[in-house]
Structure 1
Amino acid sequence: MSPLLHRIDPFWRHFLFYFSYLPSRIECSVNILFLSITDFESKKKSKRFKSDQMATEESASVMDDYEMLISTTDVELLKRAWRNEKAAPEILQFESSLVQRIKEQIELAEQNEEIFEANNIEPLTVSLYQMDLDRTQFLLRSYLRVRLQKIEKYLFYVLKTDEYLNRLSKQEQMFARRCTDDLGSHLDETVLAKLPDNYRSILKQSITSEEDDMVPAPRLDTFVICKAKQYLSGLDFEPEYSMEITEMERDLLTFVCYKFVKKPLENGKIDLV
């Protein structure tokens, strides 16, 4: 081999060696560039996700505040009391302060409606105002009507039980006593006066009965559907029912015996549906 080739051969060997590793170096550079771009996109998506998450949480917080505000209005409280009264097998505590506030609001709304009509306010506005007023009046009348129906159904039991009698308003107590007197007079004149002396009692089948066995009582073993406002543990229920019901999740509809949830209902921790 000539001396020139000996001098050139190392150069070519170095050249070939360099270019043999060039693709791997290019591939490595491309991989590094790809990883950099991927990392940038990942950070960008992470920031966008955090931003969206914060916006979602803020929106949820606003909705929770709005729902809490709506749920504390007098109309919503009246609607809740009306639903509980309709679903409960017994008569509940009369919401005297709430009913009084609702009556005052109805009177104020009626006065405002007259002012609107006198000032020639747009008929659509007056109509919407009247619609809201009618809805409130319906709730109030229905709430009072349901209570009167329960009083008539369990008339004698309510009057002889202090617990139920104290749940009535003064007007309801007067209504119950007047109904008792009228019903007693009617039955005595039409039926009881014609029966033997042993069977003239309105409350007992005969004078030998030890209890008032002709007085119907509310059936507390009726099953109802309820929803808890918060998580309830076994301590929120009566101790005697601790084996039947141990807990209740928030906002979860539960089909349960009424006497099991009577205590949390009275404490305002659940709502009947």
Structure 2
Amino acid sequence: GNEPGQPFSLGCVRKAAVGNGATITKMVQYEKERVMTWEYHSQDEVSLMIHGTDSQRPRTSTLLADHHTGTTVTLVYDFKRMTAAGESLDDPDNSIALSGNLQSNLYTLDSMWTSEMIKRGYASLTSVKFWLPFERMAVYAEVANPLNPLGADAAEGVAYSIEGMHPTPEDESNLAVGLRRRAVFFFTDGSQGSIVSQVTELEEGKLIKWRQLHGSEHLTFQGEGPDRPEMTIYLEDNPHLGGTDVRQIYYYSGLKLHGATPQVASETSSAKGKLLESLRASSA
């Protein structure tokens, strides 16, 4: 490509082994972390071939965009016809059928790519979304309660306290950016675990973001590399039902719970499940 030493750059050529065959593509459009477009130059002994026009080879594009729950991925296939191995280009109905099959197969890519990202060591977002039949500002007032946040009644054995000075001493009953809070969890065997988090982002009525500063021997979330674990709460008006849509998002790569060794995100489904159950209980 045009930038030797980089994993991708405009003009680079890539060979992909597909079963017993291979494809060779060239990058014709590239915006770092945003857009990658590959143009097909050869497709040898592959089970499924895409064909362009006389003036343009077939292309595939991957478009990436930030999303508040992760990343939006858009895949674009730009071609005129599709054929199976050995089939003629003269059967448009078969091309339509094959294109439909391709689109159906793409519907499972989100779970496949998520699993692969976790296997490659990346932290995932665990989120839960539910609806509450109350006005958004009323829900926010309870979620933003520093010592008795919404859901605390359902989470038995948890106590909250403020760490250090409140950033706005004149208004200690409300959250503020920079506020640090300790949550102490009491386990059934008499031991305790605690997490200290800090408010890093706040938008009244809409958003609260907490970042874990440190955990304890018996309870701590693991971040991704230097990134600390985070929990974000989003509130939105529901245009159809009224009330409020609540989304809680956890960003972490692993969890150490009650003396257990740290585990990668894909292996903590049980702990995640219990966490989500407690979150859903707050909407019951």
Under TM normalisation by the shorter chain, which class is it? under 0.3
Higher helix share: 1
More strand per residue: 1 or 2? 2
* TM-score (norm: length of structure 1): 0.23
Relative contact order: is structure 1 or structure 2 higher (C-alpha 8 Å, sep ≥ 6)?
Answer: 1
Structure 2 length as normaliser, TM-score? 0.22
Question: Computing the radius of gyration over CA atoms, which structure comes out larger, 1 or 2?
Answer: 1
